[in-house]
Amino acid sequence: MDKLQRNERVAVLLKLLSDSPGKTFNLGVFTEMFGSAKSSISEDIDIVGNLLERFGIGSIETITGASGGVRYIPSLSRKNIAAILENLCGELSKRERILPGGFLYMLDIISHPEKVTEIGRIFASQFCSKAVDYVITVETKGIPLAFTTARFLNVPLVIVRHYNEATDGASVNINYVSGSSKQIQTMALSLKSLKRNSSLLFIDDFMKGGGTAKGIIELAKEFDCEISGIGVLIEKVEPYKKLVENYFSILTLNKVDEENGIIDIRPSSSWK
């Protein structure tokens, strides 16, 4: 391969680093790939870092020491987050989203690649400073959000099912009580899914009473794992008292007024 020019190196570096958020790259990898001196690569990486900060889409972290290198931190600027939240609230408060029973239709948002990517970045931005070994979620609707968050944090995703499939081997099953409907449900997780003593980030699309999150905490204990964070896209304001504490929500759904066709949804107070 011909030697790359600086403009090509900077572009490739930005792509490589931002395609693998959280992954540490030793500078030696790049000096070999580009056939350039370490000092040139360092300058290239400074340019990449400046660009990311200028556009508010992350930063480059330098890790010193023998196993050191550089990695991309997928943080978002306040300005970018504010724009995403405003857009989401505008989209979610359209009256045609109101379903019979006063439910809010949001399937299109939580499975739309661009929107999910934005939301996943917000979760990653929020939790990237914590030690997270896995992102965990419960089937089905939160999976794209949880997967995207896992991708930005560069850790595997673990999906808890409502029943165990023969094709996934032995599982741990627990029963839990839904926080709002008070129904007993089952969670099943394949034994091979998690390494003991791991730190888990629970991501879901919606929280009402917090029963699912509490169930996940119980399930994690069976694997000697702990939940280091809980992130939900939307929390319903009622019930005020949730079954878990210390969760992070992006938006709060205050009210769906079926009669008058009004949806009151806002950025959560965690942003203040």
Q: Which residues bind its own copies (CB under 8 A)?
A: 1, 6-8, 10-15, 18-20, 47-48, 51, 54-55, 99-101, 103-105, 107-108, 111-114, 116-117, 139-141, 143-144, 147-148, 150-151, 154-159, 161, 166-169, 190, 192-193
Distance between CA atoms of 98 and 141, rounded to whole angstroms? 18
Cα 246 to Cα 220, 242, 249, distances in angstroms: 16, 10, 10
Residue (117 or 271) nearer to its own copies, CB: 117
Cα 116 to Cα 38, 167, 209, 238, distances in angstroms: 37, 29, 23, 25
Closest approach, Cβ 55 to its own copies, in A, equals 7
Closest approach, Cβ 99 to its own copies, in A, equals 4
Closest approach, Cβ 6 to its own copies, in A, equals 5
Residue type, 260: N
Residue (205 or 230) nearer to its own copies, CB: 205
Distance between CA atoms of 95 and 1, rounded to whole angstroms? 56
Closest approach, Cβ 152 to its own copies, in A, equals 8
Q: Residue 57 burial (CB < 10 Å; 0-12/13-18/19+)?
A: middle
Residue (146 or 244) nearer to its own copies, CB: 146
Residue (138 or 230) nearer to its own copies, CB: 138
Distance between CA atoms of 48 and 29, rounded to whole angstroms? 16
